[in-house]
Amino acid sequence: MPKEPSQLEIVRKLDLARREVDFYKYTKSEEFTTFCKKSDLSHPVPKMFWGGQKNEVFTIVLQDLSTRNFRVVIEPEGNTLEQLKCTLSSIAIIHAAGLATLSRHGHHCFNFPRKKCIMIESVRAGIKRQIKMFAGSRIASTFEALLTKVVDLINVASRYPLLNTLIHDDLWTGNVMINQDDTTASIIDWQFVRLGNPVCDIITLLFLSGKPSAYQQHLTELLNCYWNKFEQAMKEMSIPVSITYEQVKQNVEDMCIYGYMSVTDSLNTHLANNIITENRIKHIINFMNEKGHFSKNFAFK
């Protein structure tokens, strides 16, 4: 748990520590482990050996995947297609498992609120940074107007419902461990886990961790990878698939604005830590502008 009072209050308010402990306990359940075995994926998340709370201290003891040559791969100019594919395969299993639990029990224990209360200032700061990055250009005026619509931007996913399932809600390659040949990904850091639109995870990963070519030239290839694993997992567990590939693809297109919001939320922190480059940020924004995503979602005077 953090010691700084404001950060500790956020952890308490959003119940972040308990979320993560409860998530890893869920992954130890027979239902989840059986689901993963039938889906032919053994490491969508690290195995938890112990997790619990004493007073205000939460402890989680996880499998050390570095002993199996897994590593975190952060590339400021964007991760490779293979690294994105194996991450999408793993999150597809989590999404399918969440739907299986909802289908069988009618509810899920991870019906937590979003982290909206801690995003307003970081999203606003990210937009201000973009105004400086694009000073003197026409799009700078779009960002000036967007400063008055920060709450609407944070809530933009509500305009494009698909279905609700278990999502990570902070999916980028800094929260993923990948094996040496880039074929298997294990997703970590589940403190923001909640029920939500699975496309939130997909588009956040592509924008935060993908090269521009990933969503501009290879989107179909990446979505096919996700969909094949998701559909396989659902069929193996005899769970009806209530959406189609085309619906997912359209939702990804609609939710590009959510991906932009995720990038903006983490912009200053990621730039300061060399996690993303200004060049990649500019590619994302130019892509959004050329595709008309800003004007589609917000009426600017």
Whether 264 contacts 156, CB under 8 Å:
no
Residue 204 domain flag: yes
Q: Binning pLDDT at 50, 70 and 90, where does residue 3 land?
A: very low
Does residue 114 or residue 91 have the better pLDDT? Answer: 91
Residue 118 domain flag: yes
Q: Write down the mean pLDDT value for the chain.
A: 90
Region of residue 249 (left: phi > 0; alpha: psi -120 to 50; beta: else): alpha
Tell which residue, 84, 82, 47, has the closest CA to residue 188: 47
Q: Binning pLDDT at 50, 70 and 90, where does residue 1 land?
A: very low
Separation in Å, CA 21 to CA 25, 49, 166 = 6, 11, 15
From CA 290, how far away is CA 178, in angstroms rounded? 33
Tell me how many degrees the CA angle 232-103-166 measures, rounded to the nearest 5. Answer: 75
pLDDT score of 156: 94
Structure tokens at 139: 């799009």
Domain housing 257: 70-297
Listed in sequence order, the residues at least 6 apart from 45 whose beta carbon sits closer than 8 Å to its beta carbon are 24, 27, 90, 94, 186, 187, 188, 190
pLDDT tens profile 145-191: 999 999 999 999 999 999 999 999 999 999 999 999 999 999 999 99
Residue 50 domain flag: no
258 pLDDT more than 90: yes
Helix axes 256-272, 278-290, angle to 10 degrees: 160
Tell which residue, 127, 173, 187, 193, has the closest CA to residue 154: 127
Residue 62 domain flag: no
pLDDT score of 39: 73
Phi and psi at residue 210, in whole multiples of 5°? -95, 150
Residue 180 domain flag: yes
From CA 62, how far away is CA 190, in angstroms rounded? 12
Mean pLDDT of the 230-254 span: 93
Residue 113 domain flag: yes
Whichever domain contains 181, its CATH number is: 3.90.1200
Count: domains in the chain = 1
SS3 of 22-77: HHHHHHCCHHHHHHHHHCCCCCCCCCEEEEEEECCEEEEEECCHHHHCCECCCCCC
Residue 74 domain flag: yes
Residue 45 domain flag: no
pLDDT tens profile 94-152: 999 999 888 887 766 777 667 676 889 999 999 999 999 999 999 999 999 999 999 99
Give one DSSP letter per residue of 183-197, joined into a string: --EEE---TT-EEE-
Q: Quote the pTM value.
A: 0.93
Tell which residue, 153, 162, 30, 151, has the closest CA to residue 95: 162
Q: Binning pLDDT at 50, 70 and 90, where does residue 29 land?
A: confident
Tell which residue, 270, 160, 255, has the closest CA to residue 208: 270
Whether 70 contacts 208, CB under 8 Å:
no
- DSSP state, residue 161: -
Structure tokens at 105: 């029990």
Share of the chain above pLDDT 70, in %: 90
Tell which residue, 39, 76, 42, 17, has the closest CA to residue 208: 76
Mean pLDDT of the 59-69 span: 90
From CA 197, how far away is CA 257, in angstroms rounded? 14
